[in-house]
Amino acid sequence: MKKYFLALAVGSLLIAIPVAYGTAAEQNMSASEVNNRSAQTEVINNTVNIDKVMEKDSELTGAQFINMLASEGILIDILHLDNDKQVTIKDAAVSMVSIMQAKGINLTPFTNQRKEIDPVEVLNDFGILDTSKFPSADNPLDSKTSANMVKNLSIIINAKADNQNCYGVNYIITPEANGQHNIELLWGRKSSSGYAIKIEETVVEDDILYVKYSTSEPQTGSAYLTVITYPSDAITISMEDIPSKVVLVKSK
């Protein structure tokens, strides 16, 4: 709510009288309500260039984090974050897990046992955030980390096969004859023969293909060829059609 001043000349005195403009509802709102409403409007109207955000390294508020999600076309209407409060890694994880569940993604596709979901662990398993690089989930979320997390979530939500997850893994799925499909996982360029990736298990559920995989790296004391390699693994599975999404799940 903006305030303007009407100046009146009375004799030799100049008197400033505050005059309020705006709707009746705005005039009756408290300052905190006005600020919160403005922040929510900013979330709806603003767009975020994630590549630009990644050039910075600052802590994020709830409104800024929601803006990032919206810029990638990810639904935000189910989120409940304080617009002005700094977001922690755990806050972001809880929000992203809620989005994944709303999109019908099974967070435990390879187990029939019911267990309590750890949102931060889910992000680690689904290639959204390598949690080994962060000592505490209660730390404030910085803009670069958030931008990477949002991009990695978008890979899952928007089925971006060509994009690598936080571990540098992506997939190619190719239809073959008689309802067969070839699924290949790629781990990018590596510096020796000591790197390997393996598909361990697959399951199709509600038109989503879940692929469980593991990776291995050079071990100290072992001998490897110092050559450029491109680790990959592929299997053939039976499916009538290419699934709407392929979700990669890293083995423990």
Q: Distances in Å between the alpha carbon of 251 and those of 54, 87, 113, 192, 207?
A: 29, 28, 16, 22, 22
pLDDT of residue 42: 46
Q: Checking DSSP bridges between strand 180-186 and strand 232-238, what pairing results, if any? A: antiparallel
Candidates 90, 86, 52, 92; CA nearest to 69 is 92
Residue 193, exposed/middle/buried by CB under 10 A (0-12, 13-18, 19+)?
Answer: middle
DSSP class of residue 248 equals E
pLDDT in tens, 71-119: 988 877 888 889 899 999 999 999 999 999 999 999 999 987 667 899 9
Lookup: tokens for 175: 């239809």
* Helix, strand, coil tally for the chain in percent (to 5): 30, 25, 40
Task: Indicate if the pLDDT at residue 15 is higher than 60.
Answer: no
- Note whether 195 and 227 are within 8 A (CB): no
pLDDT in tens, 19-75: 343 444 444 445 444 444 444 444 444 444 555 544 556 889 999 999 999 998 887
The residues with which 35 forms a beta bridge, in sequence order, are none
Lookup: tokens for 247: 């979700």
What is the reported pTM?
A: 0.77
Task: Please name the residue ranges forming H helices in the chain.
Answer: 24-28, 31-45, 50-53, 62-71, 89-102, 119-125, 143-157
Lookup: tokens for 19: 């005059």
DSSP class of residue 218 equals P
Q: Say what percent of the chain tops pLDDT 70.
A: 77
Task: Indicate if the pLDDT at residue 171 is higher than 50.
Answer: yes
Distance CA 150, CA 164 (A): 13
Distance CA 95, CA 92 (A): 5
Lookup: tokens for 36: 């919160």
- Note whether 22 and 14 are within 8 A (CB): no
pLDDT of residue 29: 46
Sequence-separated (6 or more) residues with CB below 8 Å from residue 44: none
pLDDT in tens, 121-140: 999 999 999 999 998 999 99
